[in-house]
Structure 1
C-alpha cells in the first residue's frame, strides 16, 4: 500500500497526499510532514524521500537561532523570550513567529484598532506634552514599544502590539525612528497614514520607515 503523507501549515492539517503529489506542492524545508511510520510531525527536509527537493537551494541565512516547528496540539505557555524569533508570512494575510518554545500566529491590526489605541495614548500624555512638547510623547512611545510587551497602554487595551518585520524584538532606536517618522505623516498632508489602506501589511509611512508592523495575536502553540 502506498504511503500517504499529511502536511501542517500552522493552521490545520492537509492531506493525505501521495509522495508524488507531495513533491509537486510548494512546501518549504520547515513544513511539517507526518505519515503512519512517524511518531511525530517532522520538518520536510528531515525526511529522506524529500531531501532532494531542498538540496539544490541552500537554506536562507538566519543569524538568529533556528526554531523547529511542532504540531499545534499542546497547551499554551506564557514564558516567551521575544528577543529572537523566525518570522513567517503566510498566504492568508497572517504571520507567525517561531520562538524557542512557542509559535505565535498574528493578524495585522485594522485601522480602527490602531486609531482607538492612539486616542487612548494621547489622553495619557496630553498634559505632560502640553507642558514639554515632543519629549513626553517620544519617551512614552519609544520606551513602551521596546519594552517586554512591545505595546503602549492604549495598544494593550485593544490587544495589539508592535513587531519588527524581521521577527526580532523592537529596540529603542527603532521605536524612536518610528515615533519621529510620524512627523513625516503630517508633512505629507497625512498621505503617510493613508498608505495603510494600500499596504498589504497595513503599514503607515512611519511603519515602513522603521520596519515595523502592528498586529493582534490569534493563537499560540507550545512546542514542548
Structure 2
C-alpha cells in the first residue's frame, strides 16, 4: 500500500495524500508533511522517499537550528570589541610617544575609518575560512554557510558583507527580517544566499 502524508496548507493540515497526489500539488522542499508513523511534521526535503520522488536535496542541517537574533547581536558586539581593541591599543601606544595635540586628533579620527575597514576585511576572511565564523560567532557557537549548509566562497563572503549596507539603511530594518522568516535570515543573508546556523549540529 502506498504511504500517505498529511500536508500543511495555509497553516492547516490537510490530507491524507498519496505520493502521486503530493507530486501533483507541486509541494516545495520547505512544506511540512507528516505520515501516520511520524511523531511530528517535518519539511518534505527531510524525508528520503519524498526527496527521491520530487528531486529535493538533502538538508545539511536541522532546519529549526538557526542562529537566533540575540546570538548574532552578541557575536557582533564581541567582534566590534575585538577589532576596536586590535586597532586602538597600537594607536594608543603610538600616541604616548607623540606630544603634538594635532597628531593625537589625527590618530583618533583615522580610527573612525580604519576600524570599520578592518572589521569588513576581518568578517570576509573569517566567514569563508574553514571555521566559517568570526571569533564572536565562534564564542556563540554559530557560523555562516550557504543555503545547502556548505562553506561559503570568498566572493560570497564579500557580497554578504557588502549587502549589510542594505540591512543597516534605514534604521537597521534589514536586521529585523530575521524575525519574519523561518530560516532567521537578515536582509543581507537573503541577498547573498547565506544562513547563520548553530555550529554544534555539524
TM bin (shorter chain): 0.5 to 0.7
Greater fraction of residues in helix: 2
Residues 143-222 of structure 1: matches in 2 within 5 Å?
143-217=125-199, 219=201
TM-score using structure 2 length: 0.59
Residues 7-156 of structure 1: matches in 2 within 5 Å?
19-21=1-3, 24=18, 44=49, 54=53, 59=55, 87-88=58-59, 97=60, 104-105=61-62, 107-127=65-85, 128=87, 130=111, 132-156=114-138
Q: Judge conservation of contact 1:87–1:167 (CA < 8 Å) in 2.
A: no
- Matched residues in 2 for 1:183 and 1:160: separation? 22
Q: 1:121 to 1:87 in 2, by over 3 A?
A: farther
Provide the aligned length of Structure 1 versus Structure 2. 139
**CA deviation vs aligned residue, 1:43-70 (integer Å, no higher than 9, x gap):** 649xxxxxxx94xx6x46xxxxxxxxxx
Q: CA deviation at 1:105?
A: 3.5
Runs of 5+ unmatched residues, structure 1? 1-18, 28-42, 46-52, 61-85, 89-96, 98-103
TM-score using structure 1 length: 0.53
RMSD: 3.0
Runs of 5+ unmatched residues, structure 2? 6-17, 24-47, 89-110
The structure with the largest alpha-carbon Rg is: 2
- Matched residues in 1 for 2:58 and 2:127: separation? 18
**Which SS does the other structure have where 1:20 is aligned?**
coil
- Matched residues in 1 for 2:147 and 2:154: separation? 15
Greater fraction of residues in strand: 1
Q: 1:187 to 1:144 in 2, by over 3 A?
A: same
